[in-house]
Chain A
Amino acid sequence: MARRYDSRTTIFSPEGRLYQIEYAMEAISHAGTVLGVLAKDGVVLAAEKKVTGKLLDLSSAKDGGYGGSGEKIYLLNSNVIGGVAGLTADANSLINFARTAAQRHLLTYNEDIPVELLAQRLCDMKQGYTQFGGLRPFGVSLLYAGYDPHYHFQLYHSDPSGNYSGWKATCIGANNGTAQSLLKQEYKDDIEVKDAIGLVLRTMSKTMDSTTLGSEKLEFAVLTLDEVTKQPKAKIYKPAEINALLLAEGLMKKDEDTEMKAA
């Protein structure tokens, strides 16, 4: 009988639940982990890539555009980086929506979209799919790392139901419970970006299923303020830069070290 309430997102079950939304969230909790930490002078984002294979052609990602391999971490606007967990196809559609919304704000107000407003724009759409017309909700949670002159650096999370919330440090995807309790223990209110990078990478290495931490499994991004222009500067790391960072933080496996030297 319960199945009668599964087929439509728009129908409550007798216990007052929307099963499709809960299933969407369940799907996300199996996706690659995305982790964000808000620091005093920036925001740090890291993501675990699940699907990798030797035959997957990553050549475009190696030297493409603004960095990153375009799977988990995306530039949403010049002042916001987004990290996604869930169905990749749904995520692509949401990212496209976010980028258009941000550019539309720039067009009408001649200023970068405030971070919370961008999160709201996406949540308005996500909420719509929980209510109208027998459609499937977006199977995607997002982290937004951004900067605006109103509240400076910010970190938001949004889920398939269209709820969003601001965080000092949070995590979505597989093992998010473990990561969140680790972050709760280690987070300090006046943390700086350089320490936040270490915190993110250490938490990531403890929560990830795989034993090795390297650019083929990890995406990484930092949002800071440019020292000269005082404008937000989004840096999405390229694979080589991630390896260099892991090496510097001493988180790369020994055998990988020798591989790097050999290569």
Chain B
Amino acid sequence: MTAYLKLDHIDKSFARGGQVSEVLKDIRLTIDKGEFVSIIGHSGCGKSTLLNLIAGLTKVTAGAVLLEDKEVDSPGPERAVVFQNHSLLPWLTVYENINLAVSKVFGRTRSRAERHDWIMRNLDLVQMAHARDKRPAEISGGMKQRVGIARALAMEPKILLLDEPFGALDALTRAHLQDAVMDIHSRLGSTTITITHDVDEAVLLSDRIVMMTNGPAATIGEVLPVPLVRPRRRIELSSDRTFLRCREAVLKFLYERHRLVEAAE
């Protein structure tokens, strides 16, 4: 069986004014359908660049991103991204923001009533149906991120890409959203890649954790499977041996073997 998503020997370098800086080198990874994968690493290691490559927002220098054996080199709704700062359009209401995506992706294939039902279903999924007529400025940061997730899910993507989706949120809101994401993942079985720098979050959410070495020319240092059964509950996990072992492994990777030198100085 071939992999659902395959990152095949990817290199990425940026050229600026004659200087070439190598960001990613020899990234090799395969992800199965329905898998939840976290990418973790110190800041500046190229996590976001890697996600942008999968999204097609940036082009690879060498190698290829293959989704169902087809090369992707441009962005599209089958690889929906939830951005760190939600990036909802402030002049549209919650409903209109999702409608923009739904009418573009399903404008030809679904009737107006079907599209409306689909938008409401996705809003219900993130428990935001009550705020459908609010503008982004009128709702909290956590709510905006929920709407951002609903917008991405409404595109019915093959892969859901989350770019540090909870980074800007307070700890309690973050926990709520993590639960929401786990719940959605268990219901829809969506293949999900999330970027994070939070070790607990990575262990809690993922089937596998991809740990990146430090840049320049960062690559995948280690891939850690998280053999915890789902559904996972954060309170029970806090004393679970497997959870603690995985957490320790990630911490050791990040702070012993690949300590960020600049941050320590």
- A and B associate in one complex: no
B residues neighboring A (CB under 8 Å): none
Residues of A with Cβ closer than 8 Å to B?
none
